[in-house]
Amino acid sequence: MVDTIVKAEALKAYYITKAYGVERTVKAVDDISIEIKTGEVYGLAGESGCGKSTLLKVLLGDFQPPLTVVEGSVSYQFEGMSKDATKLSEQDKRDIRWNKVSYIPQGSMHVLNPVRRIQDTFHDFITTHKGTTKPQSFEMTQAYLRDLGLPEKVMRSYPHQLSGGMKQRVTIALATILYPKLIFADEPTTALDVVVQRGVIQLLKDIQKKENSTVVLITHDLGVHANLADRIGILYAGKLVEEASTRTILKTPKHPYTQFLINSLPSFDERSAKEGIPGRPPALDHPPSGCRFHPRCPLAIEKCSTVEPPMLELAPGHRAACHLLTDEVNHAAG
């Protein structure tokens, strides 16, 4: 039996700001429910500004005002223990983070303290959760880097002495040093060139396989998803529009938005210019009524602009929210 490790239920997280008496609400995560199973790699995809990073922040329980969870909950399920990620105390954070839940930040160059040697940064992170002495942390780091096939000499380096790809690999090692069960990775390969990307993806795969850990992978790059993810959730304008296994999403996407996304991927046997999705993603402070994709959807019918489509179960493990699919479901059911 496969257990659920994180479960988000009817999650609504809004940025609520108030300036000069004008209140503005940005509905970055609007009524999203997902369940992630132990040991799987779950991919979240979508355009910039669709709420991917906000969803991640909430799933991690790392958010501050103006981001507020308005409704819903995120529950972590570890052996014999469950926690609401949106209500973690400082003590909970020390207990859970890195030990059980970890985070690999965007493939950015600045997550390592520029004036600290890598080994000291590792010690800071390890001792916070394990209370180790410096030599103990040193040994753990050394063993782990060796395990991952990273050169040990990086330990004595400062971040500026490492290449971008090495920095990202060191960051991944730093995030997973305590063998967390659940790893959130936010665009781990952006800003890296393809060759380095491949190495970083391989590293992530190895770590995931070795510990059978769960990875929630966020990236707009469907190529990375195709490589790593078991299941993919497609986000659009703060909503989950489709969710299925990677194979299903890539081969038989059902939601018009997903179809657009997949069709805009380049392939080798085709050299024609790719068709983009017309229009722009909506501003989330005033999302369109009804289905949020309807202004850009070529298949939209009248109902789409007024009634919000419900999430439909198309097949076991394949969900999508689109009015056009209602018939298909009814047909199958009938």
Partner 1 sequence: MKLLRTFVLPRIIQYLVVIFIGITLTFLIPRLSPINPVDNAVGRLSAFQTMAPEATVALRESLMDLYGLDGSLLEQYFSFWKRVLTFDLGPSFTVFPTPVSKLIGSSIGWTIGLLSLSIILAWVLGLILGTLAGFFPNSWWARTLENSLIVIYPIPYYIVAFVLLMAFTYYLPIFPLVGGSKGAPGFTWSYISSLLYYGFLPALSLILGGVAFRFIISKALTSTERSSDYVRFAEMAALPKHKILFSYLIRNTLLPQVTDLGLSLGLIFEGALITEAVYGYPGLGTLLLGAINSADYNIIMGITLLSIIGIATASLLVDLSYPLIDPRVRYS
Residues 6+ apart with CB under 8 A from 59: 6, 8, 74, 85, 184, 216
Indicate the residue among 77 and 158 with the shorter CB distance to partner 1.
158
DSSP state of 225: H
Closest approach, Cβ 202 to partner 1, in A, equals 23
Burial class of 287 by CB neighbour count within 10 A (0 to 12, 13 to 18, 19+): middle
Indicate the residue among 45 and 88 with the shorter CB distance to partner 1.
88
Indicate the residue among 73 and 128 with the shorter CB distance to partner 1.
128
Cβ atoms within 10 Å of 56's Cβ, excluding its own: 20
Indicate the residue among 94 and 280 with the shorter CB distance to partner 1.
94
Closest approach, Cβ 66 to partner 1, in A, equals 14
Cβ atoms within 10 Å of 197's Cβ, excluding its own: 21
DSSP state of 97: B
Closest approach, Cβ 162 to partner 1, in A, equals 12
Q: Which residues bind partner 1 (CB under 8 A)?
A: 60, 62, 90, 93-94, 97-98, 103, 105, 108, 110-117, 120, 124-125, 128-129, 158, 160-161
**Of 176, 171, 174, the residue nearest 188 (C-alpha):** 171
Q: In the numeric block, which tokens belong to residue 151?
A: 């050169």
Look at residue 152 and give its three-state secondary structure: helix
Cα–Cα distance, 26 to 33 (Å, whole number): 19
Closest approach, Cβ 282 to partner 1, in A, equals 27
Cα–Cα distance, 156 to 210 (Å, whole number): 26
Indicate the residue among 76 and 125 with the shorter CB distance to partner 1.
125
Residue written as token pair 């850990």? 213
Closest approach, Cβ 96 to partner 1, in A, equals 8
Closest approach, Cβ 241 to partner 1, in A, equals 29
